[in-house]
Amino acid sequence: MNARRDHDEVRQALREAFPPVDTALRRDLWPLMQRRFHAQRPRVAWYDWALAGVVGGAIVVFPDLFLVLVYHL
Amino acid sequence: MNLLQRFSQGDQEAFEALFKQFQAEVYGWIVRIVRDSGAAEDLTVETFWRVYRARGRFDCEASFGAWARRIATNLAIDHLRRRRPEVDLPEDLPNGTSADPVLRREKHAQIVAAFRRLPPKLRVSATLSLIEGQSHQEIARALGTSAGAVRVRVFRAVRLLREYLPRSGGRS
């Protein structure tokens, strides 16, 4: 009986203290979702680009190096 | 192949279609728990991000909405856990039946503070049951537990609130 009364009183007090929230979504969240996807795409570090540039340049200057590279890969 | 099957195999267009179909429902559920529209938007996006990452584990025969709601509920609980304030309550609280608007406002503030001291799992159950009027069954589905467990959580929340607010609560 007391528990029931406590329950009802607490519920009443909470409903008075917490006004109803607006549950309607006011905008499309898809653009935010796309941003989240974009943020998760792996980014290539600058030193990886630098290494690729050095290797590419070396192959242009010394074409035989390409075969050595392929062999080691 | 239906939309859910395409989604579970990583089809982005299927995911976008599901996102647009369920975003309002997931947002509505989260905002009821966290009661903050900005946080609810962020948590909705995070929910769908987790949904997308877990697509391989999705059972295409199951309800997508219920699955998303369960993930959303867990994220909302984590959010409440991170934001849990440390609040000290004064000993003397105004009487619940006071007609004085200042005292009533003060009492509301004390109730809100006491409510925020509840452990997040109890708080979510109490919010959805006592404030939002959701059924124990519905809450249980979102929490991945039984209706009986929800009933116990609500009971414990009420008991704790009674302890936090010993001299308030409407008894005059």
Confidence of residue B140 (pLDDT cuts 50, 70, 90): very high
Q: Is the pLDDT of residue B90 over 60?
A: no
Nearest to A21 among B35, B41, B169 (CB): B35
In order of A63, B73, B108, B137, the CA distances from A15 in angstroms are: 77, 21, 10, 21
Distance of CA B24 to the CA centre of its chain: 15
Max Cα–Cα distance, chain B, nearest Å: 64
CB contact under 8 A, B23 and A10: no
Express each pLDDT in B1-15 by its tens digit. Answer: 789 999 999 899 999
Confidence of residue B93 (pLDDT cuts 50, 70, 90): very low
CA–CA dist A51, B24 (Å, integer): 47
The total number of residues written for chain A in this structure: 73
Distance from CA of B143 to the nearest CA of A (A): 19
Q: Is the pLDDT of residue A43 over 80?
A: no
Please, what are the domains in chain B? 3-82 (1.10.1740.10), 101-164 (1.10.10.10)
pLDDT of residue A64: 86
Express each pLDDT in A3-19 by its tens digit. Answer: 788 888 889 889 988 98
Q: Is the pLDDT of residue B85 over 90?
A: no
Give the residue numbers in A contacting B (CB under 8 Å), as ranges.
3, 6-7, 9-18, 21-26, 28-30, 32-33, 36-37, 40
Higher pLDDT, B85 or B69: B69
CB contact under 8 A, B131 and A18: yes
pLDDT of residue B95: 47
pLDDT of residue B28: 96
Helix, strand and coil percent figures for chain B, each rounded to 5: 70, 0, 30
